[in-house]
Chains A and B, each alone.
Chain A
Amino acid sequence: MTPGVHEDCGIRPDRGAACPAELTPALYREMRRIAARHLSSERPNHTLQATALAHEAYLKLAGFRQAYADNVHFLAVASRAMRQVLVDYARARTAHKRLGDANRQPLWPAAIEMKVEGGAELADLIALDGALASLAAENGVLARLVEMRYFGGMTAEESADALGLSVHVVRHDLRFAQAWLRRKLLS
Chain B
Amino acid sequence: MNARLAEMFHRLADLPPDARARYFVEHEVDPDTRREVEELLAHDSSDAGWFSQPVGISARAYLDDHVRGTLCGPFRLLHVIGRGGMGVVYLAERADGEVGQRAAVKLLQPGWTEIQRERFLQERDILAALAHPNIARVLDAGHLADGQPYLAMEYVDGQRIEDYCHGLDVRQTVELFLHVCEAVAYLHANSVLHRDLKPGNVLVSASGEVKLLDFGNARMLELGGDPTVTRLRILTPEYASPEQLSGGAVGTRSDVYSLGAVLHHLLSGGSPGEKQPSHSPRELSGDLEIVMQTATRREPEDRYASIEEFSADLRAWLESRPIQARRGDRIYRARKLIQRHGLATGLLAAVVAALLGAGALAWYSSPHDSRVHGLTAKRVTANTPELPIQMAAISRDGAYVAYSDPLGIHLYDTAAGVTRLLEGTAGHVLQRWMPDGSALQTQTLDDSGVAATMIVPAAGGRPELASDGSGFRYSPDRRHRALASADGKQLVVEDADGSRSRELWRSANSVVSGYEWSPDGKALAVVADYGRTSSLEIIDVAGRRKSVLIPASSDRYITSIVWHTTNRIVAAIWERGSGINSEGADNLWQVLLNSRARNGPAELRKLTAWTDSRIRRGSLTTDGRRLALVRTLRQRDVYIAEIGTGGHHAVVPRRLTPDLGDDYPTAWTRDSKAVILTSDRNGSSNVFAQEIDKLSAKQLVHGPGRQILPRVAPDGDDILFYGREARKRGLMRVPVSGGTAELLFETSNVADFRCSPAGPCIIAEFQRDRRIVVSALDLRKGKGREIYREASGRIVTPDISPDGRFLATPSSTKIVVRSFATGSVVREIDVRHGTAPTRLTSLDYSPDGRGFYAGDITPSEARLLYIDLTGEASVVYRQAGSLPQIWGIPSHDGKHVAIMMHTDDSNVYLLDAF
Q: Shortest Cβ distance from B816 into chain A, in angstroms?
A: 15
> Which stretch in B42-50, B279-287, B376-384 binds the other chain?
B42-50
Kindly identify which residue among A86, A100, A180 contacts B40, using a CB–CB cutoff of 8 Å.
A180
Q: Cβ of A40 and Cβ of B111 under 8 Å apart?
A: yes
Mask: chain B, 134-175; 1 = CB below 8 Å from A; 0 = not: 000000000011101000000000000000000000000000
Decide yes or no whether B206 CB sits under 8 A from chain A: no
Decide yes or no whether B364 CB sits under 8 A from chain A: no
List of B residues within 8 angstroms of A124 by Cβ: 53-54
Q: Cβ of A173 and Cβ of B6 under 8 Å apart?
A: yes
Decide yes or no whether A65 CB sits under 8 A from chain B: no
Decide yes or no whether B52 CB sits under 8 A from chain A: yes
Decide yes or no whether A116 CB sits under 8 A from chain B: yes
Also in contact, A122 and B708, with CB within 8 A (given A51-B146, A56-B66, A99-B580) = no
Kindly identify which residue among A107, A115, A151 contacts B708, using a CB–CB cutoff of 8 Å.
A107
Also in contact, A39 and B61, with CB within 8 A (given A102-B795, A107-B678) = no
Mask: chain A, 109-146; 1 = CB below 8 Å from B; 0 = not: 11111111111111011001000000000110010001
Q: Cβ of A108 and Cβ of B751 under 8 Å apart?
A: yes
Cα–Cα, bound, A90→B61 (Å): 9
Kindly identify which residue among B58, B65, B770 contacts A125, using a CB–CB cutoff of 8 Å.
B58
Also in contact, A36 and B111, with CB within 8 A (given A52-B63, A178-B51) = yes
Decide yes or no whether B325 CB sits under 8 A from chain A: no
Cα–Cα, bound, A179→B509 (Å): 11
Cα–Cα, bound, A93→B41 (Å): 34
Q: Cβ of A89 and Cβ of B112 under 8 Å apart?
A: no
Q: Cβ of B709 and Cβ of A47 under 8 Å apart?
A: no
Decide yes or no whether A38 CB sits under 8 A from chain B: yes
Cα–Cα, bound, A175→B107 (Å): 38
Decide yes or no whether B19 CB sits under 8 A from chain A: no
Which partner residue on chain B sits nearest A53 by CB separation?
Answer: B63
List of A residues within 8 angstroms of B130 by Cβ: none
Kindly identify which residue among B578, B662, B729, B750 contacts A117, using a CB–CB cutoff of 8 Å.
B578
Q: Shortest Cβ distance from A62 into chain B, in angstroms?
A: 17
Decide yes or no whether B652 CB sits under 8 A from chain A: no
Helix, strand, loop or mixed for chain A's interface?
helix
Which partner residue on chain A sits nearest B795 by CB separation?
Answer: A102
Cα–Cα, bound, A21→B751 (Å): 57
Decide yes or no whether B31 CB sits under 8 A from chain A: no
Which partner residue on chain B sits nearest A137 by CB separation?
Answer: B1
Cα–Cα, bound, A53→B59 (Å): 8
Mask: chain A, 83-106; 1 = CB below 8 Å from B; 0 = not: 001100110010001111111111
Cα–Cα, bound, A50→B57 (Å): 13
Q: Cβ of B579 and Cβ of A112 under 8 Å apart?
A: no
Also in contact, A47 and B111, with CB within 8 A (given A121-B53, A179-B45) = yes
Q: Shortest Cβ distance from B57 into chain A, in angstroms?
A: 4
Within 8 A of A (CB), among B744-769: 748-752, 766
Cα–Cα, bound, A111→B83 (Å): 19
Mask: chain A, 161-187; 1 = CB below 8 Å from B; 0 = not: 000000000001101101111110010
Decide yes or no whether A150 CB sits under 8 A from chain B: yes
Q: Cβ of A104 and Cβ of B111 under 8 Å apart?
A: no
Within 8 A of A (CB), among B579-625: 579-581
List of B residues within 8 angstroms of A179 by Cβ: 9, 40-41, 43-45
List of B residues within 8 angstroms of A181 by Cβ: 51
Which partner residue on chain B sits nearest A95 by CB separation?
Answer: B792
Kindly identify which residue among A39, A52, A109, A150 contacts B750, using a CB–CB cutoff of 8 Å.
A109
Kindly identify which residue among A38, A103, A106 contacts B580, using a CB–CB cutoff of 8 Å.
A103
Also in contact, A40 and B708, with CB within 8 A (given A45-B112, A52-B67, A107-B666) = no
Which partner residue on chain A sits nearest B723 by CB separation?
Answer: A109
List of B residues within 8 angstroms of A98 by Cβ: 793-794
Q: Cβ of B766 and Cβ of A112 under 8 Å apart?
A: yes
Q: Cβ of A146 and Cβ of B62 under 8 Å apart?
A: no
Scoring B9, B62, B678, B885 by chain A CB atoms within 10 A of each residue's CB, the highest score goes to B62
Q: Shortest Cβ distance from B710 into chain A, in angstroms?
A: 10
How many B residues are at the interface, by size bracket?
35 or more
Kindly identify which residue among B13, B62, B112, B662 contacts A47, using a CB–CB cutoff of 8 Å.
B112
List of A residues within 8 angstroms of B839 by Cβ: 101
Which partner residue on chain B sits nearest A49 by CB separation?
Answer: B63
Cα–Cα, bound, A77→B748 (Å): 50
Cα–Cα, bound, A53→B578 (Å): 24
Q: Shortest Cβ distance from A153 into chain B, in angstroms?
A: 9
Helix, strand, loop or mixed for chain B's interface?
mixed
Q: Cβ of A50 and Cβ of B54 under 8 Å apart?
A: no
Decide yes or no whether B39 CB sits under 8 A from chain A: yes
Also in contact, A38 and B706, with CB within 8 A (given A45-B113, A107-B666, A173-B6) = no
Q: Cβ of B885 and Cβ of A49 under 8 Å apart?
A: no
Decide yes or no whether A24 CB sits under 8 A from chain B: no
Mask: chain B, 1-16; 1 = CB below 8 Å from A; 0 = not: 1000110011001000
Q: Cβ of B43 and Cβ of A48 under 8 Å apart?
A: no
Cα–Cα, bound, A106→B579 (Å): 13
List of A residues within 8 angstroms of B1 by Cβ: 138-139, 142
Q: Cβ of B111 and Cβ of A43 under 8 Å apart?
A: yes
Q: Cβ of A110 and Cβ of B56 under 8 Å apart?
A: no
Within 8 A of A (CB), among B2-37: 5-6, 9-10, 13
Q: Shortest Cβ distance from A187 into chain B, in angstroms?
A: 8
Q: Cβ of B52 and Cβ of A150 under 8 Å apart?
A: yes
Kindly identify which residue among B54, B144, B636 contacts A122, using a CB–CB cutoff of 8 Å.
B54
List of A residues within 8 angstroms of B66 by Cβ: 49, 52-53, 56
Decide yes or no whether A41 CB sits under 8 A from chain B: yes
Also in contact, A183 and B39, with CB within 8 A (given A40-B111, A47-B146) = yes
Q: Cβ of B722 and Cβ of A104 under 8 Å apart?
A: no
List of B residues within 8 angstroms of A99 by Cβ: 580, 770, 795
Decide yes or no whether B254 CB sits under 8 A from chain A: no
Mask: chain B, 554-597; 1 = CB below 8 Å from A; 0 = not: 00000000000000000000001011110000000000000000
Scoring B65, B581, B795, B797 by chain A CB atoms within 10 A of each residue's CB, the highest score goes to B581
List of B residues within 8 angstroms of A110 by Cβ: 706
Kindly identify which residue among B62, B67, B750, B885 contacts A89, using a CB–CB cutoff of 8 Å.
B62
Cα–Cα, bound, A78→B51 (Å): 18
Q: Cβ of B54 and Cβ of A125 under 8 Å apart?
A: yes
Also in contact, A101 and B44, with CB within 8 A (given A116-B579, A178-B51) = no
Mask: chain B, 59-102; 1 = CB below 8 Å from A; 0 = not: 11111111100100000000000010000000000000000000
List of B residues within 8 angstroms of A186 by Cβ: 43
Cα–Cα, bound, A108→B708 (Å): 8
List of A residues within 8 angstroms of B112 by Cβ: 43, 45, 47
Q: Cβ of B58 and Cβ of A151 under 8 Å apart?
A: no
Decide yes or no whether A6 CB sits under 8 A from chain B: no
List of A residues within 8 angstroms of B110 by Cβ: 36, 39-40, 45, 47, 49-50
Kindly identify which residue among B10, B54, B722, B751 contacts A128, using a CB–CB cutoff of 8 Å.
B54
List of A residues within 8 angstroms of B51 by Cβ: 128, 146, 149-150, 178, 181
Decide yes or no whether B664 CB sits under 8 A from chain A: yes
Decide yes or no whether A154 CB sits under 8 A from chain B: no
List of B residues within 8 angstroms of A53 by Cβ: 59, 62-63, 66
Q: Cβ of B107 and Cβ of A48 under 8 Å apart?
A: yes
List of A residues within 8 angstroms of B770 by Cβ: 97, 99, 102, 114
Q: Shortest Cβ distance from A135 into chain B, in angstroms?
A: 9
Q: Shortest Cβ distance from A140 into chain B, in angstroms?
A: 10
- Contacts A102-B794, A128-B55 given; 18 further ones with Cβ under 8 A? A39-B110, A40-B110, A45-B110, A49-B60, A49-B63, A49-B110, A53-B66, A86-B55, A86-B58, A101-B841, A105-B752, A107-B666, A107-B678, A109-B748, A111-B729, A117-B578, A128-B54, A138-B1
Sorted nearest first, the 3 A-B pairs with minimum C-beta distance are A40-B111, A49-B63, A39-B111
Can you offer 29 A-B residue contacts whose CB atoms are under 8 A? A38-B55, A38-B59, A39-B63, A41-B56, A47-B112, A47-B146, A49-B66, A49-B110, A53-B59, A86-B55, A98-B794, A101-B841, A103-B581, A104-B841, A105-B751, A105-B797, A106-B885, A107-B664, A107-B709, A111-B729, A117-B83, A118-B58, A119-B579, A121-B61, A122-B57, A138-B1, A172-B10, A176-B6, A183-B42
